[in-house]
């Protein structure tokens, strides 16, 4: 008879630790998500980057169509993240004058439709979610453009002729277009570049969720996520004005970092450090890995650079 072994508490802890490490490594190897991404932008970028910015005609021949929730085909373009409105949308111009917030007043896409909180508590005629959304995007503009000095996103209306010739929608003026709808799938928002010109600097539009039901329990928590989403997605729009082919990991690390610069008190990025794969749970994973998780928790890198080298 062979030797007998006794499983001590120490051995049990070692086995448990090795099992956890194996689970995480397997998740990385096969690209499985432990927690789904809240930003759908990364998924949209892959198909755009693969065509190397060859312009509108090339993208149409490849089957990639420029759409928005106001134009049929949004679900097909975004892999099911977004969809086309089933009723005619209206809009609200942000007080700062930089954004046009699009929404509908009926159907499940209605702002705040999944919550019992008052939809228009101030009786202004505009849903509170829309007004808050506009304020958060205005604040993001002031911080990102006016204070930090980044270039504004390219103006879609500058390419009006290209949109018209393709039978597409550019929002009708030079304001940046933000669409509110029931995205679902745990996605808080996404920013979509639009290939209406050759080169790597592209206009874009943003879609944000209409209530964050299923992601945040209370209205207060949902509004904090709306703040973070506004800063995050707007910075994607700014990034597309520099080079939409930038590495995806840096797109997301820096956009998550921007949440902290614009809305320092929210700290929504901390959820990435515990719920996503990242430096704190998988320190052996390379900085430039983009697997739907690591690029978000990698916010620690630009945050470190800011705190280490700021004057």
pLDDT tens-digit readout, 11-44: 555 544 444 344 334 333 323 333 445 787 766 6
The answer to whether residue 117 sits within a structural domain is yes
On whether the CB atoms of residues 258 and 306 are closer than 8 A, the answer is: no
| 164 in any annotated domain | yes
* C-alpha dist (Å) from residue 88 to 68, 69, 84, 85, 207: 13, 10, 10, 7, 16
User: How many Cβ atoms from other residues are within 10 Å of residue 15's Cβ?
Assistant: 11
What is the reported pLDDT for 63?
A: 40
Tell me if 77 sits within 8 A of 93, measured CB to CB.
no
Q: Smallest Cα–Cα separation from 159: which of 150, 169, 151?
A: 169
Decide if 299 is inside a domain.
Answer: no
267 in a domain, yes or no? Answer: no
Please tell me the predicted confidence (pLDDT) of residue 109: 93
Asked if residue 17 is part of any domain, the answer here is no
How many separate domains does the chain show? 1
What pLDDT score was predicted for residue 116? 80
Residue with tokens 């500058």: 158
Q: Is residue 9 assigned to a domain?
A: no
Q: Name the burial class of residue 295, with classes exposed (0-12), middle (13-18) and buried (19+) by CB atoms within 10 angstroms of its CB.
A: buried
The closest of 278, 83, 261, 117 to 187, measured between CA atoms, is 83
Assess if residue 25 is contained within a domain. Answer: no
pLDDT tens digit sequence for 114-167: 888 778 889 999 999 999 999 999 999 999 999 999 999 999 999 999 888 877
Domain span at residue 122 reads 34-247
Q: Which residue has the tokens 């005609």?
A: 57
pLDDT, residue 217, reads: 85
Does residue 2 belong to any structural domain of this protein?
no
Place of tokens 């900085």: 287
CA distance 83 to 181: 8
In whole angstroms, what is the distance from residue 139 CA to residue 11 CA?
Answer: 54
pLDDT at position 291, please?
81
User: Low-confidence residues of the chain, pLDDT below 50?
Assistant: 15-36, 51-65
Strands 204-209 vs 99-103: parallel, antiparallel or unpaired: unpaired
Instruction: Give me the helices (H) in 51-207, please.
Output: 56-61, 74-77, 128-141, 160-165
This prediction's pTM: 0.82
Q: What order do you get walking across the sheet with 204-209 strand by strand?
A: 90-93, 99-103, 176-181, 204-209, 189-193
Q: How far apart are CA 163 and CA 176, in angstroms?
A: 15
């Amino acid at each position: 008879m062979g030797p007998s072994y006794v499983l001590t508490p120490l051995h049990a802890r070692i086995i448990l630790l090795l099992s956890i490490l194996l689970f995480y490594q397997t998740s990385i190897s096969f690209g499985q998500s432990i927690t789904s991404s809240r930003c759908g932008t990364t998924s949209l970028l892959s198909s755009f980057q693969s065509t190397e910015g060859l312009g509108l005609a090339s993208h149409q021949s490849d089957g990639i169509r420029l759409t928005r929730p106001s134009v049929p085909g949004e679900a097909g373009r975004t892999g099911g993240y977004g969809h086309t409105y089933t009723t005619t949308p209206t809009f609200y111009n942000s007080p700062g004058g930089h954004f046009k917030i699009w929404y509908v007043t009926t159907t499940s896409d209605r702002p705040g439709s999944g919550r019992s909180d008052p939809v228009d508590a101030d009786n202004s005629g505009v849903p509170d979610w829309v007004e808050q959304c506009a304020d958060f995007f205005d604040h993001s503009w002031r911080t990102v453009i006016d204070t930090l000095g980044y270039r504004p996103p390219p103006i879609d209306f500058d390419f009006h002729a290209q949109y018209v010739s393709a039978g597409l929608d550019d929002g009708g003026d030079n304001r940046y277009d933000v669409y509110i709808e029931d995205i679902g799938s745990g996605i808080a928002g996404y920013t979509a570049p639009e290939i209406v010109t050759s080169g790597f600097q592209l206009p874009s539009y943003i879609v944000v969720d209409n209530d964050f039901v299923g992601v945040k329990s209370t209205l207060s928590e949902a509004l904090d996520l709306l703040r973070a989403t506004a800063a995050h997605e707007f910075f994607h729009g700014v990034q597309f004005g520099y080079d939409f082919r930038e590495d995806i990991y840096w797109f997301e690390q820096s956009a998550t970092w921007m949440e902290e610069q614009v809305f320092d008190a929210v700290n929504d990025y901390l959820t990435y450090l515990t719920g996503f794969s990242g430096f704190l749970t998988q320190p052996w994973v390379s900085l430039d890995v983009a697997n739907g998780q690591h690029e978000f928790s990698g916010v620690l890198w630009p945050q470190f650079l800011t705190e280490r080298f700021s004057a």
